[in-house]
Structure 1
Amino acid sequence: MNTKSNFFRIMSLILILFVSTSCEKAKDQPVPFDQEDMIDDEFLTEKFQSQLTPDFVLDVLKKRNKEFVDEKLTIRNTSERIRKASLGQYPGAVVLSCLDSRVPVEDVFHSGIGDLFVARVAGNISNEDIIGSLEFACKVSGAKVVVVLGHEHCGAIKSAIDNVELGNITALLAKIKPAIDAVNNFKGEKSSKNPGYLEAVTQSNVKETISNIRKNSSILKEMEEKGEIKIIGGEYHMETGNVEFIN
């Protein structure tokens, strides 16, 4: 009995050693992948950025979002991109997104280091600091597209509809109120529990933010009028990962 026990104990040790050694070797081996699965470095050079048009960048964003929806593998070649981007940044677009942790902006647009500027604030509202950041992204750093990205099931939108008041959140939610007023003619229950109404306010809020950007930034308004940039809205659909663009 003891001999049998010793035998199985020795065999178990050998198996553990074999698996452990195999795993150590596997860690040193590169994971094979097709080059076409690698995120390109389109937005990592000043020369390339200078040749971009707003429509081209928007097409890239739409294509990359489809890749995300289709669950295309995201390979970020992070070390190489860090080295390439270390001396300068030339993103193609700036995305003003909600704070929501369920909206991973770079993933949504299948992007990596150096591809996008991302500004985040609950309810994707605009204020002086946000607009100043958008001006920096476009006028100073050459981004060609501004995307105001709202999303389904937004807690900030729900809270604004429900008239939540809490600390500094109160002032933030007040910036969403004009979007609620803009859909005053909505037919149906005006409640945060009504998906149709929530959707209407969400899209209204995106449009309201875009309107505020144009109103409060002569820089961005002029750039848009000259065709140097495009300002567009979008709604991220959580069930599918699709971004519905809103003109």
Structure 2
Amino acid sequence: MHRFSVLLLALALLAMPACLWASADGEGSSPAMALQRLQEGNARFQEGRSIHPNRDTARRLVTSTLGQKPFATVLACSDSRVPVEIVFDQGIGDLFVIKVAGNVADTDEIGSMEYGVDHLGTPVLVVLGHTHCGAVTAVTTGAEVHGAIAQLVDNIIPALETTRHAHPDLEGGALIDAVIEANVWQAIEDILKRSPAIAARVAQGKTAVVGAIYDIASGAVRFLGEHPNQAALLAAAPTASHAGGDGHAADTQEHAAAPHQNEATPAASAAHAQNAESGAHAEAKDAHGTATAPEAKSGGFGFFSFLLFVAALIGVVILLDKTILRPEDN
């Protein structure tokens, strides 16, 4: 009986890292929990009290042996002033990040997001725009671009046209700011239209796709919420059976037609965006209001826990050696 108890203890200790790893990260998290974790992390960063979690030797060991289990996928701009893990005060293996100029959602970016959302199962996908975005500014001002950049930033043109149609009086910085936000909505629209896998998870409530704007001066992330026309986008989203074959050609044609589709309901889009922004401010206040609470949710399999596990494992080995392998010594 004593030997059987020791064996059970050994198995429990061996399973401990995997259990801690699964419970601390994306597996089993809800979209609301994942969003709260991002909000709380950004609140810490903005207020200068980051805890820099999951950046030690133990975290590298766990993620390299047990694999990655991020709790959020983030599409962000390549701008060096937008360090996503730092902005949300997260560490190794916490976020699955895709960075591209202008945070546009084209074929490569959508495929990468599908890996994070559908394969790794992250419960939230954030499209993160930011203030003073160079790509959006170039498109809005008609600046000359060279090389392949023109093909990259053409994804932003629909956002510019929608904004000009809805707000013909906007100019200068105000116009650029409005296009930055419209570009976030455009990216989400492109994702839901062109990714049956992501659209299906959103429809099932497994993943939330939300927009956000990062202020590079203040460090604050303003969450915009879900796309104002999400229900209609999901209803029109292609099914997985339509994604094969010449799906890429269909995506290209659909993208080319996007400006006309966006112009159809500019006023409605603007109104929905304002409502989403109002909700986002209330959400941000909640995040700041709970910022001083204990940070138990940011945990992970830390270095101290790892040392305890190693010590316990050594003890089990000694017990096994004495009680099972060499019982005659007792």
On whether the aligned pair clears a TM of 0.5, the verdict is: yes
Unmatched segments (≥5 aa) in structure 1: 1-40
User: Matches of 1:206 and 1:212 in 2, distance apart?
Assistant: 10
User: Matches of 1:157 and 1:215 in 2, distance apart?
Assistant: 22
- Offset, 1:189: 4.2
User: Matches of 1:197 and 1:44 in 2, distance apart?
Assistant: 47
- Look up the equivalent residue of 1:79 and give its one-letter code: T
Contact 2:27 2:71 in 1 (8 A): no
User: Matches of 2:77 and 2:132 in 1, distance apart?
Assistant: 11
What pairs with 1:195-214 in structure 2 (closer than 5 Å)?
195-214=173-192
Q: Aligned residue for 2:102?
A: 123
Matched, 1:100 2:64: no
What pairs with 1:29-68 in structure 2 (closer than 5 Å)?
45-48=21-24, 49-68=26-45
* SS of aligned partner of 2:163: coil
Q: Deviations over 1:17-54 (max 9, x none)?
A: xxxxxxxxxxxxxxxxxxxxxxxx9x972355332101
Q: Percent identity?
A: 35
Closer, same or farther in 2 for the Cα pair 1:111/1:44, shift >3 Å?
Answer: farther
User: Matches of 2:27 and 2:186 in 1, distance apart?
Assistant: 30
* SS of aligned partner of 1:119: strand
Contact 1:44 1:91 in 2 (8 A): no
- Look up the equivalent residue of 1:74 and give its one-letter code: I
What pairs with 1:19-34 in structure 2 (closer than 5 Å)?
none
Higher relative contact order (CA 8 A, sep 6+): 2
Matched, 1:186 2:162: no
What pairs with 1:152-231 in structure 2 (closer than 5 Å)?
152-163=131-142, 164-184=144-164, 185-190=166-171, 194-231=172-209
Task: Give the structure-2-normalised TM-score.
Answer: 0.59
Aligned-residue Cα RMSD (Å) equals: 1.8
Q: Aligned residue for 2:125?
A: 146
- Look up the equivalent residue of 2:157 and give its one-letter code: K
Unmatched segments (≥5 aa) in structure 2: 1-16, 226-330
- Offset, 1:68: 0.5
Contact 1:148 1:233 in 2 (8 A): yes
Q: Deviations over 1:55-92 (max 9, x none)?
A: 11001101111000111143344212101111200000
- Offset, 1:186: 1.5
- Offset, 1:172: 1.1
- Look up the equivalent residue of 2:121 and give its one-letter code: G
Task: Provide the aligned length of Structure 1 versus Structure 2.
Answer: 203
User: Matches of 1:198 and 1:66 in 2, distance apart?
Assistant: 26
Contact 1:97 1:149 in 2 (8 A): yes
Structure 1 window deviating more from structure 2 (69-78 vs 49-58): it is: 69-78
